[in-house]
Structure 1
């Protein structure tokens, strides 16, 4: 499969590139700084999604079968990049005929209000008592602007006609790939609280051809 991976030099993106190449996929890495992509087998295209360039996006998507995106704000200066960048990616996908996209969101986003979902449920059905009562309220207060950006990113996907999936992992770590993780379509994983970035990258690739995940959010955890 021919894949275009956005934010390919980020924590999850670089692992998705590595695993996709190992699995025999043909990869285009769309990154702000192509020098950060060190795999000889990977085609690179310079794309700055803080200031999306339609021509660069068209070049990055040329010939692609599917898109993976680990786009998200790394600093305060990046707030808004998930929504803005994903909107630009979706527009370019429509223009180039690419339909499949998998993005990274976050486990608490199902309860974060957004213009498209001004009254979300108070709790995700997969969240345990401590998560919905203690952990997630604290995390949402700390990461309020970052999560608002991800919630608006999901709005962009829902408003599109694309075959999208938004993965909602909980707390991330840098442990090794295990392939032993759980997923739930449309809800968070019951009792889930942590997962490695390597396993999130693996899941992005695993669900590419799964129609049950099209136009869905997917919770995952160890």
Structure 2
């Protein structure tokens, strides 16, 4: 499969890139700094998704079968990049005929209001008492702007008419790939609280061909 990995030098994007190459996929990496993924076997396209260049994005997507996006704010200066970058990415996908995209969101986003979902449910049906009452209220207060950006990114995906999936992992760690994790379509994983970035990257690849995840959010956890 020909894949374009966006934010390919980030925590999850870099692992998705490596796993996709190891699985034999033909991969193009979209990054701000191509030197960060320098390789003889990976095509790189320099794009700053905070200020996306439509022509460069279309070049990166030409001939691709699907997109894996780890796009998100790494610093306060990046707030808004998930929404703006994903909007530009979806526009370039429509222009080049690419329909499939898997993007990274976060477990609490189902309860974060956005222009497209101004009155979300107070609780995700998969969240246990500790998450509903303690963990997620604290995290949402700490990461308010970052989560607002991801919620608006999901709005962009819902309005895109593409075959999209937004993965919503809980707290991330840097443990090794296991390939053993749980997923739930349309809700968070009951009792889930942590997952490795490597397993999130693995899930991105695993669900690429799963129509049950098209137009859906997917919760995952160890």
Q: How far apart in 2 are the matches of 1:10 and 1:149?
A: 17
Could you tell me which residue of structure 2 aligns to residue 147 of structure 1? Answer: 147
* 1:11-26 correspondence runs (5 A): 11-26=11-26
* 1:33-52 correspondence runs (5 A): 33-52=33-52
Gaps of 5+ in 2: none
Could you tell me which residue of structure 1 aligns to residue 58 of structure 2? Answer: 58
Gaps of 5+ in 1: none
**Once the two structures are superposed, what CA deviation does each residue of 1:70-90 show, in whole Å capped at 9, x if it has no partner?**
000000000000000000000
Q: How far apart in 2 are the matches of 1:98 and 1:15?
A: 22
Q: How far apart in 2 are the matches of 1:146 and 1:186?
A: 21
Does residue 29 of structure 2 align to residue 29 of structure 1? yes
**Once the two structures are superposed, what CA deviation does each residue of 1:167-195 show, in whole Å capped at 9, x if it has no partner?**
00000000000000000000000000000
Deviation at 1:38, TM superposition (A): 3.0
Say which SS state the counterpart of residue 120 (structure 2) adopts: coil
Could you tell me which residue of structure 2 aligns to residue 112 of structure 1? Answer: 112
Q: How far apart in 1 are the matches of 2:193 and 2:39?
A: 32
Q: How far apart in 1 are the matches of 2:26 and 2:84?
A: 26
Deviation at 1:41, TM superposition (A): 1.1
Could you tell me which residue of structure 1 aligns to residue 67 of structure 2? Answer: 67
CA RMSD between the two structures: 0.4
TM (norm. structure 1) is 0.99
* 1:1-222 correspondence runs (5 A): 1-222=1-222
Q: How far apart in 2 are the matches of 1:182 and 1:40?
A: 35
Q: How far apart in 1 are the matches of 2:121 and 2:71?
A: 25
TM (norm. structure 2) is 0.99
**Once the two structures are superposed, what CA deviation does each residue of 1:133-187 show, in whole Å capped at 9, x if it has no partner?**
0000000000000000000000000011100000000000000000000000000
Deviation at 1:40, TM superposition (A): 2.1
Structure 1 residue runs of 4 or more that deviate by more than 3 Å after TM superposition: none
